[in-house]
Amino acid sequence: MTEIQTQARHGEGRCCVINRRACFSASHLYWLPELSPADNHAQFGSCAITPGHGHNYELIVSMIGELNADGMVLNLSNVKHAIHEEITSQLDFRFLNEAWPEFDLSQPNGCLPTTEALARIIWTRLKPLLPLVGLRLYEQPNLWADYLGNAMDAYLTIRTHFAAAHRLAREELSQEENEKIYGKCARPNGHGHNYLVDITIRGAIDKRTGMLCDLSKINQLIQDLVTEPFDHTFLNKDIPYFSECVPTAENIALHINDRLKQPIKKIGANLHKVRLQESPNNSAEVYAETPLLGELPQKLQTMTIH
């Protein structure tokens, strides 16, 4: 067998991204010593209540490389060992504020152990050992952070949901014509969905608070501009925008994007993406800025995935 045939058989030389999942349970407290108790509670809300609170964290480590003769980017046993030694063994069942020196708030460069700050610091600890291309850290199913190695820049995603009905039809068309385009979704009395909405924001992690922006303000914006006005509505009739615009998943995602983009900008972050899941089989994504792939490290952009 020639060398080229051997490489083809094992996929050797081809680029691939692999992912490794790890979990740990830990607690943390949002409390800055330079602030008064009243200011800490005003800024961090229930997250400032002592002695803190805990989460079951889920970490997804993404790595990139070319396949070797064994058909692997990396030996997963070595990956598992590195993540365990450097991350989970040090964080599992720990109080994060005291686990690592980066969270020592008695030091000028110490920051709070927020999801986004924790993702960035995990990256700095794993990068010398693994060919990282991205990290995702779930604090809970409705809140997670992505870090791609871009200095203090990170992404934070908040998931919300609402139940609503809609009918897909263009007013200028007949019922028969609408059914040819939209099928059962054009039936006159409409139908409903339990929508899931993932709202991803981007920004610089504050060196002291560890946050891209005030999480309570973001949550309130989403509640005021999306969840509350959309929940338990007939979109075509109750949301003025959809009286003239067909409420497809794509158009709903675009409208949510338009409603949130400037308000989020005003509180110091950037809306990056809106993902609307209409059902387990259908979803739509709208990018308010450059898609995520365009922001991956240059190594990924220049490697060809066959």
The whole-angstrom separation of Cα 73 and Cα 79 is: 10
The whole-angstrom separation of Cα 75 and Cα 150 is: 26
Whether 213 sits among the annotated catalytic residues: the reply is no
Question: Which of 138, 157, 158, 155 lies closest to 146, judged by CA?
Answer: 155
Strands 270-279, 282-287: pairing is antiparallel
Instruction: Report the chain's C-alpha Rg in angstroms.
Output: 23
Whether 232 sits among the annotated catalytic residues: the reply is yes
Asked if residues 46 and 84 have their Cβ atoms less than 8 Å apart, the reply is no
User: Among positive and negative, which fits the CA dihedral 28, 266, 250, 202?
Assistant: negative
Which residues lie closer than 8 Å to 203 by C-beta, 6 or more apart?
Answer: 153, 154, 156, 212, 213, 268, 269, 270
Query: For the range 29-33, what are the long-range contacts, defined as Cβ-Cβ under 8 Å and sequence gap of 24 or more?
Result: 29/53, 29/95, 29/97, 30/112, 30/114, 31/105, 31/112, 32/105, 32/112, 32/208, 32/209, 33/105, 33/106
Active-site annotation holder among 53, 81, 191, 232: 232
Eight-state DSSP code of residue 127: T
* Helix intervals (H) in 68-130: 76-83, 89-91, 96-99, 115-126
Active-site annotation holder among 102, 116, 278, 295: 278
The β-bridge partners of 60 are: 21, 136
User: Checking phi first, is residue 268 left (phi over 0); if not, alpha (psi -120 to 50) or beta?
Assistant: left
Active-site annotation holder among 12, 58, 161, 185: 185
Whether 185 sits among the annotated catalytic residues: the reply is yes
Asked if residues 71 and 77 have their Cβ atoms less than 8 Å apart, the reply is no
Q: Which residues are catalytic?
A: 185, 232, 278
